[in-house]
Amino acid sequence: MARGTGKPLHLTGVQLENWRNFAQVDVGLQRRVFLVGPNASGKSNFLDVFRFLHDVVAVGGGFQEAVRKRGGVSKLRSLSARRYPDVAVHVSIGNDETPTAWEYELRFTQDNRQRPIIKREWVARGGREIMCRPDDKDETDPERLTQTYLEQVNANQEFRDVADFLATVRYLHIVPQLVREPDRSVGRSNDPFGGDFLEQVARTSEKTQKARLRRISDALRVAVPQLKELELWRDPARGTPHLRGKYEHWRPQGAWQTEEQFSDGTLRLMGLLWAIMEKAGPLLLEEPELSLHSEIIRMLPQMFARVQRRTGRQIFISTHSSDLLQDEGIGLDEVLLFIPGEEGATVTSTITQKEIRDILQSGLSLAEAVIPKTRPQKATQLMLFGDI
Amino acid sequence: MREPPVILSAVEGIVDEVMVQKLIAEAGGSPGTVYGKNGKAFLRQKIQGFNNAARTWPWLVLVDLDNDAECAPQLCAQWVPVLASYMCFRVAVREVEAWLMADADSLASFLGVSRNRIPANPEQLDDPKTEMVNLARRSRCPAIRQDMVPREGSGRSVGPAYASRLIEYIQTSWHPEVAINRTESLRRSIKCLKQIIEKVSK
């Protein structure tokens, strides 16, 4: 975790230009961020900004690789970009006392050979600029503009905290099938889809691992009352790690089941609980409500809030769930509303929408105010599918 | 000994759910499925259905009086003019938070505030929820303040884990048998539940 300012840092704001399906975005970010919008409105593209910055600083990553992974500048650039064809990402990093402890901006385009080229790279600390490119050296050797200073340890000394912080960003979208069949993602570490989830659990020190699994099984009992115990178990023949749970049963000893037999919902909830217990950087969660019962989903926002109070970890949650948004403790400044439009999608914080504030004042829930806004405009057409 | 009768219930939200479960157990019943939990408007819309169901099975429906009516009997008359024989329709004056304040010692120690800050007559409060948040604001415990008090600029009236704190309090610390001494609406609710349970058990 980045040091320097006492309380753990989090992303406090983001500005984008021509990033994927957004022409322009400028929003503040709280410690908990809920992303709501219709399908294909850009929630994942928005989260990808932070994954991109992570890829720039990651081991084996870098600016060129981060762009290449995304199909090149032309894939990253918004289709509505015309006059100002640069792609720009600007993030603020700080805490509640100092929201802009750090600011980082990266503006880029591509050269004639379609290589990503930096147009501007800029860092400020406490509002004061400490680095700005292109600098003199870049003028004499334009090749340098194919790499960010952020990714180079020789060049980022003064703002190492920013690089360290961005390296802690983690994206998670557990696919139960991959957890059950880890062979499919062999060799990948930090697999966002949970392919190495069991490996991760196995890598944790035994004490922490046991403590976490105990807390997870306690929490899971709410959803799966038959589950009595949870432990890591290694297959003696192959040495591969497995999670196994003891289920209460008509037999007095109960019965052990491994992750292969766990339900999708149980596995997803386990992965989620494991991830939020880690004291680390921003956690990007894609639709955590999938395969969970609505009564469990309703509890997630409060659970996140209480875990965050202890770990300080920032959590981004993309969601379609009205159960989740019913929670009356969700701040209006914690909800970002994604609306697609002809000139790209727009992102606004619900706190700026008078209409929503008025609806809440009159006693309706946030879900009742927001979900209808995220309904695809021509949803009813889907019913006619068979006749086309 | 006979099994305690199962009582079904319908409530406004997740805190009320835990509240009715506690009350039913306190009155000697066994808490069954809890319906609703989708706000007051939903309950208002479905109340006739619940009342019909209560012709044959014991039901507890709990709503907050809020500022919808002058007094509980008035609200009751608006919602369910004719109560079914196993319907226990109860109104918290003015909100469930008032019931929670009525066990002042427990609340003071749960919130970490001094005992004399807890209102002596919680049923007289116009807005017990705001009062509860203000009490939490004075808590000696930073975790309570962070969970229950809304952040500045959040646009909400309660903090991010307000409901879960109240649920925790009801489950672990709140004593209805103490609280009934300071809130008439709670005392009557438990009395009504006991009568229904007795009626079913005959």
Q: Are B170 and B19 in contact (CB under 8 A)?
A: yes
Span A316-329, average pLDDT: 92
What amino acid occupies position B185?
S
CA distance A35 to chain B (A): 16
Cα dihedral A234/A237/A238/A243 (nearest 10): -20
Is A360 a residue whose pLDDT tops 80?
Answer: yes
User: DSSP labels for A222-241?
Assistant: HH-TTEEEEEEEE-TTT--E
**Res A189: pLDDT:** 65
Is B14 an 8 Å CB contact of chain A? yes
What CA–CA distance (Å, rounded) separates B198 from B202? 6
Is B71 a residue whose pLDDT tops 70?
Answer: yes
Residues above pLDDT 70, as percent of chain B: 100
Cβ separation A331–B153 shorter than 8 A: yes
Span A7-26, average pLDDT: 94
What CA–CA distance (Å, rounded) separates A280 from A47? 17
Q: Are B43 and B63 in contact (CB under 8 A)?
A: yes
Residue B78 backbone class (left: φ over 0; alpha: ψ -120 to 50; beta: rest):
alpha
Is B124 a residue whose pLDDT tops 90?
Answer: yes
Q: Which position has the higher pLDDT, A373 or A137?
A: A137
Question: Tens digit of pLDDT for each residue in A83-103?
Answer: 668 999 999 999 988 999 999
Is A1 a residue whose pLDDT tops 50?
Answer: no
**Closest residue in A to B155 (Cα–Cα):** A332
**Res B32: pLDDT:** 94
Q: Which position has the higher pLDDT, A130 or A229?
A: A130
Task: Give the H/E segment covering residue B13.
Answer: none
Is A242 a residue whose pLDDT tops 80?
Answer: yes
**Res A269: pLDDT:** 85
Q: How confident is the model at residue A2 (pLDDT cuts 50, 70, 90)?
A: very low
Span A20-37, average pLDDT: 95
Of A82, A35, A38, give the one whose Cα is nearest residue A372. A38
Which of B154, B162, B166, B169 to mutate: most A Cβ within 10 Å?
B154
Is A249 a residue whose pLDDT tops 90?
Answer: no
**Res A244: pLDDT:** 85
Q: Of the candidates A302, A357, A365, which has its C-beta nearest B160's C-beta? A: A302
Is A348 an 8 Å CB contact of chain B? no
Of A253, A255, A257, A235, give the one whose Cα is nearest residue A244. A257
Question: For residue A5, how many other CB atoms are within 10 A of its CB?
Answer: 16
CA distances for A92 relative to A48, A127, A343, angstroms: 16, 10, 25
Q: What is the rounded average pLDDT for all residues in chain A? A: 87
CA distance B38 to chain A (A): 8
Residue A30 C-alpha from the chain's centroid: 13
**Res A130: pLDDT:** 96
For the ranges A35-39, A339-343, B108-112, the lowest mean pLDDT is seen at: A339-343
Q: How confident is the model at residue A266 (pLDDT cuts 50, 70, 90)?
A: confident
Look-up of token digits 């999708």: A264
What CA–CA distance (Å, rounded) separates A333 from B151? 10
Question: Tens digit of pLDDT for each residue in A167-177?
Answer: 999 988 877 77
Q: How confident is the model at residue B176 (pLDDT cuts 50, 70, 90)?
A: very high
Q: How confident is the model at residue B2 (pLDDT cuts 50, 70, 90)?
A: confident
Total-model pTM? 0.90
For the ranges A71-85, B1-15, B125-139, the lowest mean pLDDT is seen at: A71-85
Question: For residue A342, how many other CB atoms are within 10 A of its CB?
Answer: 5
Is B163 an 8 Å CB contact of chain A? yes
ipTM > 0.85 for the complex: yes
Question: Tens digit of pLDDT for each residue in A182-209?
Answer: 665 556 666 777 777 888 888 888 899 9
**Res A381: pLDDT:** 78
Residue B111 C-alpha from the chain's centroid: 18
R_g over Cα of chain B: 17
Question: Tens digit of pLDDT for each residue in B72-117?
Answer: 899 999 999 999 999 999 999 999 999 999 999 999 999 999 999 9
Structure tokens at A154: 């020789």
What CA–CA distance (Å, rounded) separates A283 from A278? 10
Which of A10, A96, A306 to mutate: most B Cβ within 10 Å?
A306
Task: Report cis status (omega within 30 of 0) of the bond before A134.
Answer: yes
Of B91, B158, B98, give the one whose Cα is nearest residue B125. B98
Q: How confident is the model at residue A295 (pLDDT cuts 50, 70, 90)?
A: confident
Is B1 a residue whose pLDDT tops 70?
Answer: no
Which of B156, B166, B167 to mutate: most A Cβ within 10 Å?
B156
* Strand order across the A241-247 sheet: A227-234, A241-247, A255-258
CA distance A311 to chain B (A): 12
| Angle, helix A294-311 to helix A264-277, in steps of 10 degrees | 10
How many interchain CB pairs under 8 A, A with B? 67
DSSP secondary structure code for residue A125 in this structure:
E
Is A5 a residue whose pLDDT tops 50?
Answer: no
